[in-house]
Structure formats: structure tokens, C-alpha cells
Amino acid sequence: MQSVSDAKARDLPRPSLPLAILPIAATMGLILFQIRYFGADNFAPHIPLALGIAITGLVGRAIGYRWRQMEAGLFHVVHIGLPSVAILMIVGMIIGTWILSGTVPLLIHYGLTLITPQYFLLAAMLLTSVVSLAIGTSWGTVGTVGLALVGIGDGLGIPAALTGGAIVSGAFFGDKMSPLSDTTNLAPAVTSTNLFSHIRNMAATAVPAMLAAGTVYWVLGWRYAGQGLHAERVETILRGLDTQFALSPWLLLPAVLVVVLAVRRYPALPTLFAGMLAGVATAVIAQDATLHQVLAAMQTGFDSTTGVAAVDDLLSKGGIQSMMWTISLVLIALAFGGIVEQTRCLEVILHAVMGLVRGRLSLVTASTGGAVGTNLLTGDPYLAIALPGRMFAPAYRGRGLSTLNLSRSLEEGGTLINPLVPWSAGGAFTAGALGIPTLAYAPFAFACWLSPLIGLLYAGPGWFMPEADAAERERWQTDHEPVMVEGELVSAAELAPEELERAFDAYRGA
């Protein structure tokens, strides 16, 4: 496993397994204590993670690391995560300007007038999945279309936890399957597979998970069919929107611009920034917004003052400052992940897990569990894909399995589980943007946790688990990829094709 920085640290001994587990177990204990002490609604994992950095530093010092070595690894991973921080800032500005411009209020208006309660949850899942697939970012989808859907669900009398679950299921499914998504590109890059082959292979688990989730949302939606009790509330919200905004179809232009640029494969940051600027222009032209109002919406968010509580609570959102809680959490979580990796604690734990791997099912369980565990420990979806990807790829090759199986496993345990972890980047952002606690919507994000379960179900009998073809094996040898043979790592280039085949035969059927 390669160091994230400072090659001299590789000369130091690895910690023992108990010592490697100690800082992680202590940090998780502090997090659980805080949840129990303050309650899930007031939970803030910043301090436990910061203390976890200090604990890990003490462990690193005990085995011989200097602080400068640990600091280098810590800041390296923080640096890797800075694009996510930039996206968070831009999404905060987008939320503020798109509310000020009337784009989000118009989406809420259309939703309240066109969508019936019984189909709302299914429609929310499908709409967010299509938007996220088109623009390649679950965060951008959650912060714009998702926010509008929360307002629609509130007006229709749908519980916020159900609405959040449907939004997260669709947004993160679309992110996982989009060729524009950063995590969808990271997984095949880490495992040396082709992007579009990776996406096709993920369909085997993603499509059944979405069908199952959609069926559940449709059934749950019928519990709210024909709810006349909320007609007056819907009318109140619509009046509040009409009073505060001049609504017309032209207000959808900022959203259309973002989709068009994303489809044309412009990078995420300039695409989102262009959407924000379009929101500013729309606010000035369509809503007669002043420069002061525009800058305030970008900095501190939109301040709704209709006097209608349902409208004001929903629309008083956005701005860079609204993202600072999440940004600070992301930075601390990344720092924790960096020092855990640099002190080789995570490496030792993953090596111990590899010692338990015997057959196909245990291998897929280990790689998916490794991604889930990294999510729980660091809160970072990129580490959750990159670290287990580097660790488990040789084991997949040693069994003759295409590493497409690994890249799918990493996305299921990394991309899809991340928004279900309260202290993760995805979980913290989603909870902040939607105003719904992570632990409230997580049980209802059916597609996110069904997909990994379906992947494990396939692993036992070996369904939808392709073996490496001749071209992939040749690539392993050309690129000198490591292969695990009889518990040892060897370069594929050092093995003749018949030696590789004998190694595969030893695992076939297991």
C-alpha cells in the first residue's frame, strides 16, 4: 500500500493490530457517546473527530513517527478533498441565488400543482436520479431540486424523513451511474478498469435496487392518497410563493443551463458557477433584486419574510455561511482520514481483514465492508473508494476475477453509503441542505443500502461476477499489476499465463 506522502515514513514499523484499532475505536466511542449524550438531532461530530486526530497522533508518536511526517499525510488528504469544499461553497451560493431568482420557488409551485401525494415519493426518486445522472453531482441535485422537493412534500403532508430518503436514493443513484461523476471516475481509475464497462457492470445491482426502492415508495405513497386535509396548507404555500416572487417558466433557465453544460461534459466547478451566475442574472431581471440582496443571498442565504411560516422556514436557506458547518466537518474528517492512513493504522486493519478472506463471498464482503468501514472511520467517499481499492485489487486478480467486480463493490460501500453516515461529507451536506437529520432519512434511502446487499447476494453463487478476460489479464502483465498468489503479492509480469491460470484454478468454485 503506497504512502500518501513522505516516503521516509514507510521505513517505520507498522503498528500492531490492537494499536491500529485503538485510535479508531476511541474516536467511534466518543462519537457514540456524543450521540447518546446530546441526541441525534443535536449531534455534531467535529470534536470527537478532532480528538481522534490527537489520539492517532499519540499512537503514531509511540511507534516512531515524527509530527511532521504525520502532518504531511494529514494535509495531503485535506488537499485532495479541497475540490469538494469548493463545490460546497458554490452549492451554497446556488441555493441562495436560485431561491432569490425564483427558480426553486417555481419548482415548488409546479410540484404542488402537478404531483399528487400517492406518486410523490416515486416521482422524487425518479426526478433526482435523472438530474443527478445528467449533471454528475448528487450534492448539486440535493441542494437545488432536492430542496424544492422537500417543500413540495411538506405541502402534500409527506413526512420529511420519507421525502429525504427518496431524494437521497435518486440523487446518489444518479451520481453512481453518471460518467460525469467524480466518484464514478475514481473507482475504475483505482482498479484499472474502463469507465463505461464499470457503469454497465454496476447496472446489475443498481437497477434491481432502484426497482425495489421505487416499488416501496409507490406503495408508501398510497398511504397519503387523497389527503384533503392538506389542501388548505398547499393553497397557503402557493399564495406565499405568488406574493413574494414573479413566477414564470423563464425562471427555469439557470437549471437548464447547468444540465446543458453538464451534458456537454464541462467540469463540475465551472458548470455550477455558471448556474450560480445565471441565478444572479435571473434574480436581477425577473425579481428586480438589488445588488445588496444578491450579495446577501450568496453570503448568508435568502431571507424569506412573507409571514407564512411554512414558506419562510423552507426558503430561508443558502449562502456560503450555511455551508460552513459542513465544510468544517469535511476538513476535520479528511484530516482524521489522512493521519489514520499515514500512520498505517488503516493498512494494518485491512491486512487483518484480508487474512479472513477465503472465497468469493468473503472477498466481496471484505471489499464492500472495507469501503463502508472507511466511510464510518473517515467520512470521506474518496478514501472509501481509494484505500480498499488499492488493498483488495490484488486479491481479485489472484482469483481470476475482473476488477470490475471490485469497482462495483467500492461504489456500493463508498458512494452509496456515504450519505447515510451522519459525520460523512455526504451525510453532513445532505442533512444541512434539506434540513432533515441524517439518521432520520437514512432508513428510507432504500436504494442506497439495497444495492450493496444485492451485490453480496450475487457473490455467493457468482452471479453477475465476470472473470477477467484475456485482454484484462494481458493488461495486468503489461502494467505490472500486483496479484495475490497463495497469500503473497507478486507482479503479474513475473507470472507466465499458465501460472496465472493455475492460481485461478485454486480459487474457482470457492
Q: Give the per-residue pLDDT at 7.
A: 40
Calculate what percentage of the chain has a pLDDT beyond 70: 89
Output the furthest CA–CA distance in the chain (Å, rounded): 76
Average pLDDT, the chain: 82
Chain-centroid distance, C-alpha 482: 29
Residue 436 neighbours by CB distance under 10 Å: 23
Q: Which of 124-138, 155-169, 364-378 has the highest mean pLDDT?
A: 155-169
Last residue of a domain, one of 274, 301, 323: 323
What are the pLDDT digits (tens) for 324-379?
A: 877 887 788 778 877 887 888 877 876 787 777 778 898 999 999 989 988 887 67
Calculate what percentage of the chain has a pLDDT beyond 90: 26
Q: How far is the C-alpha of 274 from the C-alpha of 261, rounded, in Å?
A: 9
Report if residue 422 sits inside a domain.
Answer: no
More confident residue, 109 or 217: 217
Whether the Cβ atoms of residue 147 and residue 191 lie closer than 8 Å to each other? no
Opening angle at CA 274, ends 414 and 198, nearest 5: 30
Residue 428 has pLDDT above 80, yes or no: yes
Grid cell for residue 358: 477465503
Helix H or strand E encompassing 484: strand 482-485
Q: Give the per-residue pLDDT at 113.
A: 77
Report if residue 251 sits inside a domain.
Answer: yes
Give 460's contacts (C-beta < 8 A, 6+ positions apart): 360, 361
More confident residue, 227 or 63: 63
Q: How far is the C-alpha of 290 from the C-alpha of 274, rounded, in Å?
A: 20
Report if residue 58 sits inside a domain.
Answer: no
Residue 454 has pLDDT above 80, yes or no: yes
Mean pLDDT of 387-402: 82
Cα-based torsion angle of the residue sequence 440, 446, 449, 450 in order, rounded to the nearest 10 degrees: 160
pTM of the model: 0.69
**Residue 298 structural domain:** 83-323
Q: Give the per-residue pLDDT at 487.
A: 63
More confident residue, 506 or 282: 282
Report if residue 61 sits inside a domain.
Answer: no
Whether the Cβ atoms of residue 86 and residue 119 lie closer than 8 Å to each other? no
What are the pLDDT digits (tens) for 248-272?
A: 999 989 888 887 887 777 777 788 8
* Number of domains present in the structure of the chain: 2
Report if residue 329 sits inside a domain.
Answer: no
Q: Give the per-residue pLDDT at 11.
A: 61
Report if residue 237 sits inside a domain.
Answer: yes
More confident residue, 226 or 248: 248
Q: Give the per-residue pLDDT at 80.
A: 66
Last residue of a domain, one of 277, 295, 323: 323
User: Cα dist. 375→260, 391, 420, 430 in Å?
Assistant: 32, 15, 10, 15
Q: How confident is the model at residue 1 (pLDDT cuts 50, 70, 90)?
A: very low
Amino acid at 197: S
Mean pLDDT of 374-403: 80
Q: How confident is the model at residue 474 (pLDDT cuts 50, 70, 90)?
A: confident
Q: Give the per-residue pLDDT at 167.
A: 95
Report if residue 349 sits inside a domain.
Answer: no
Last residue of a domain, one of 304, 323, 342: 323
Report if residue 260 sits inside a domain.
Answer: yes
DSSP 44: -
